[in-house]
Amino acid sequence: MSRLVVISNRVAVPKARGASGAQGGLAGALNAALKTNDGIWFGWSGEEAEDPSAEPDVQTHDGVTTATIDLAPQDIEEYYNGYANSTLWPLFHYRIDLAEYSRETGKGYERVNELFAERAAGLIEPDDTVWVHDYHFIPLGERLRARGFENRIGFFLHIPWPPTRLFTSLPYHERLVRTVLHYDLIGFQCNEWLESFLHYCRKELGAEVDDTIGKVTFEGRTTYARSYPIGIDYDHFQSVGDSGEARQAQQRMMSSTRHRTAIIGVDRLDYSKGLPERIDGLARFFERFPEGNREVIYVQIAPPSREDVESYQQIRETLEAKTGRINGEYSEIDVVPIRYVNKGHSMAELYGCYRASKIGLVTPLRDGMNLVAKEYVAAQDPDDPGVLILSRFAGAAQQLSDALLINPYSNDEIAHAIRQALDMPLEERKARWEKLNACVRDENIGAWTDNFVRDLGAV
């Protein structure tokens, strides 16, 4: 039986005591797949070193083998902060205005992909199946092929693939797509991103594309491209919800709202999440419904991310300014309508906060999937479920069509959806939730992993 080799930017390294440090979500699913297939997980350690070792740090705990390498400061700046997160990330999220194009960071991105191919070469055996993850490693499959590897190699993109007219603004865009076509199977979060990719291959490359089976033939090579909507680890998330930590978080949330309806948002501090637009939508709600500041309380949990990138510093400043302005205008002695929490919380704490909130506000401007929407659904009380308000521009909207779908750019739509959710009868809330929950439960992270690995073995 062939092994599974997973390659990603970061690796969930098991704890030294032997218990896996990855307890849920993508890390949990990949660990389970690696155990089943006696595999290895290779990636960046997250550390920098002036003179990184040429040999990966290999550890085996609880049946899972990980291999990590450090990166030099220049590599981190050019590959990670530069091309990956200042060029590809904004462009793939339709923010062409924020995308930075630099030859030096582009060279750094290619250099690090070559480095990973070189380091992975000593780990991959002839019969291994290789699964590469995300926008950090688009060219990696081609680099492995150049080294003579004929293994089955798959790639999954966790973020959107932009429309052709946006993507062609990227210098050397054709070169990048040519490299990705060296994978045997390419996975996308939803059909919209898949269709954008196939459109590019047909229109820009002149490739032969069979949309019915996602088959792309170009320069004598065949690649398959399909959608695989990622899910959450539903059973594990439910077990976390039974913990004392989750119940305590739920009680704290409920007691602190003083009989007001709690609305919750949980997002990384990232411009793709639509946080300033969401706050503007809340302001419109308070403006249109003057009693709203005593009717609801909005809790925004937004842990910082990529703080070395200037655009992320700007989004934090903007969010803090908007939150402060609204609280200044609509607060009273005993009422503060928005709570802005700029730190992370455990999965159990989030479960408790979700369950205590009667509205989940998930309004990204563009998102590959968005698992917060699915977590919110999974955490609800079946006898009195809350209402999910979801951006139609999140990949999750294609599955979770029974949520209240809104345009996150429209303040009026956000305000109207909040009013609609507050007024929704219990029977309608339960009917919507039951359909949403069935989808989240059945199309979970385990099914996603199994489907991709199965198809990669079959193509």
Burial, 64: exposed, middle or buried (Cβ in 10 Å; 0-12, 13-18, 19+)?
buried
CB 272 within 8 A of CB 367: yes
E-state strands within 100-198: 129-133, 152-156, 185-188
CA distance 38 to 55: 21
CA distance 31 to 13: 10
Active site amino acids: 158, 367
- Extract the tokens encoding 393: 């521009």
Q: In terms of Cα–Cα distance, which of 325, 395, 340 is closest to 367?
A: 395
Beta partners for 299?
264, 339
Q: In terms of Cα–Cα distance, which of 183, 91, 104 is closest to 138?
A: 183
Beta partners for 215?
210, 224
First to last CA, the chain: 17
DSSP assignment of 219-241 equals TTEEEEEEE------HHHHHHHH
Dihedral through CA 139, CA 142, CA 147, CA 151, nearest 10? 120
Q: Look at the alpha carbons of 206, 152, 451, 388 in this order and tell me if their dihedral is positive or negative.
A: negative
DSSP assignment of 380-447 equals S-TTS--EEEEETTBGGGGT-TTSEEE-TT-HHHHHHHHHHHHH--HHHHHHHHHHHHHHHHHS-HHH
Backbone angles phi, psi at 411, to 5 degrees: -60, -40
- Extract the tokens encoding 58: 């290999």
CA distance 19 to 320: 39
| One-letter identity of residue 333 | I
